[in-house]
Amino acid sequence: LAQNGMIILKFYLHISNEEQEKRLLARQKDKTKAWKLSAADWAERKYWGAYQEAYEDALSRCSTDEAPWYIVPANKKWSRDLLVARTLVDTLRQYKDQLLDKLVLRGEQELARIEQIQKPAG
């Protein structure tokens, strides 16, 4: 995809083991959020370390210069959202002129087609 000009941003939102437990307990106590839980959430917690190793392996193998992984600390939702938004803005800002040039070219092409259609017959 990146070789075809697609802008790829991949985010790994990392929460700590303690934060995950806190969130699971909060969901368990709140009947309006309990639907988000499953018994597997609690059963799988004993494999936390193994999951972290697997994530590290996958992230290192799947990160490239054209499509890097951004590891975002996500214990605090406001800072997670801010970091993701900043990364999006900083990355897309680099493409602003290029994207505007493409939009102008597309507009010029469409205007030429419209002009052809609007020409009087004769």
- Which tens digit of pLDDT belongs to each residue from 104-114? 999 999 999 99
CA dist., res. 96 & res. 78, Å (int) = 26
pLDDT at 4: 81
Confidence of residue 55 (pLDDT cuts 50, 70, 90): very high
Average pLDDT of the segment spanning 46-74: 94
Tokens matching residue 122: 């004769």
Q: Which secondary-structure segment (H or E) carries 13?
A: strand 10-14
In this predicted model, which residue has the larger pLDDT, 120 or 25? 25
- The letter for the amino acid at 75 is N
pLDDT of residue 98: 86
pLDDT in tens, 67-106: 999 999 999 999 999 999 999 999 999 988 888 999 999 9
At residue 2, the pLDDT reads 78
66: its two tokens: 């054209």
H-helix or E-strand containing 108?
Answer: helix 96-118
Domain positions in the chain are 2-118
Q: Which CATH class is domain 2-118?
A: alpha beta
